[in-house]
Amino acid sequence: MKEVFGNAEAFEKTYDWVKAAELYAQALRAVGEKDSLGKGEIQEKIGYCLYQGAFQAETQEEFKSHMLEAVDAYEKGTEAYEKVEFAKGLYCKAMALYAKSLILVDASRKKAVLDECGEVLKTAMKAFEESGIT
């Protein structure tokens, strides 16, 4: 798994975000079923890489596809972290909402999602502060 992580990080350094996400997804399969922290961390990395990769898309459809995959990864990260890292779970939830807002067309729906994102992020920052995680 260390080799896969090393390769994924190398792809991140060259801004090949989608390839890095694919390698992190491979690493995820090696994580134990009960390792919620490990799963959360990898899902968060996958979400981040797909989010970044979306901005390198050549078409609107590709952008939307990568962003939806990022939303899914962040939501899975939220679920995994809920069991062990409350603040990180909230952060992933906020990122999922933010990524989702970027593909919404309806302005009122986008505003509602961004408002929810802001509230979740405030709660996450407070939880980070209270837990001493920076």
Q: Which of 48, 39, 134 minimizes the C-alpha distance to 98?
A: 48
Under-50 pLDDT residues of the chain: none
pLDDT at 134: 62
Tokens of 38: 């490990």
